[in-house]
Structure 1
Amino acid sequence: MTEKQQSRLLPQELQQLFQYAMVLCQQADNAQDLLQSAVEHYLIELRRGKSINNKMAYLRSTIRNRFIDSFRHQQRWPNESFEEQQDYDISPVDLEQLHIDQQILQQVWQTLAPQDRDILYHWAVLGHSTDEACDILNMPRGSFLSRIHRLRKRCEQLQQSINEPQTINNQQPYGGKGE
């Protein structure tokens, strides 16, 4: 058998290597990535003239080492999703048509973080559309819309607390059952 024939990978060998990668990572896509990476490394080493006596052992150890490297990378730098899990009913048309009561704005303004004030100023005071405000503030649309949603909720809560009838000495408000 020639050296080229010995270095050639047969379909059953590729299947065995894929199964090994699958055992390690438990996901078909990741297993295929590991296998491809290992085979690519194997072929590069052959092209450079490296002598590999046992190709299957070499490929298994390459797959294992790459899996360990990716695991360590995930441990050091975990992927964090900054997206919120809740769905919001925030269509741009509704947001742009919302008018904020001046009294509520004054009360809320003092409690806002500087970035939220900036968002509210560009959107509610200057009247920019959500897209324009996102461009001006250099902010992703999703982040902008979720912040607007939270600001709307805060304003609604404040509006409800202002509109609730005031009771004096735990008495029912005028027109209640206690007349």
Structure 2
Amino acid sequence: MLDQKALQRLYRYGFSLTRDEDAAYDLLQDALEISLRKAPDNTAAVMRYIQRIMRNRFIDQYRHDHRHPTVSFNDNDNQPVNIDPQVLEDIVIAEHEVESIMTMLEPLEHELLFFWAVEGYTAQEIADRIDSTRGTVLSRIHRLRQKILRYQASGEVGVKGGAE
């Protein structure tokens, strides 16, 4: 049905929505289970169908989490890595910039950013995937770019008090 490359694309899509590896795997697994019951015949339609399932499941979970917030007490994700200090500083600065920008975006803006910047879809392809018009997608991309540019211009992006 789906090859490894297609599954990786679906995982990346899930990760763009959730920003969490485990949640992306769970989202993909749920979507695959549902799609096995009633999936279209051709691969392109299957991909769109699974992405739609993932998107709908994510929105449902997002709404649930905002009604019933939970707190995680597990902090085992930080593993030490040996890297050149200058490279590490650049990585940390870039990571903080991306995290800072991503935290100000809404989940549906994450989805749009994923399709547009990561997957490289055209506005029409994005519109087809999210059941919208091309003009609406172009408008959302424009607003997203303007939002990111305003945020960067405000000076809130980056590491405060970095190395000199």
Q: Do the structures match in fold with TM over 0.5?
A: no
The TM-score bracket by the shorter chain reads: 0.3 to 0.5
Question: Whose relative contact order is higher, 1 or 2, with alpha carbons under 8 Å and at least 6 apart?
Answer: 2
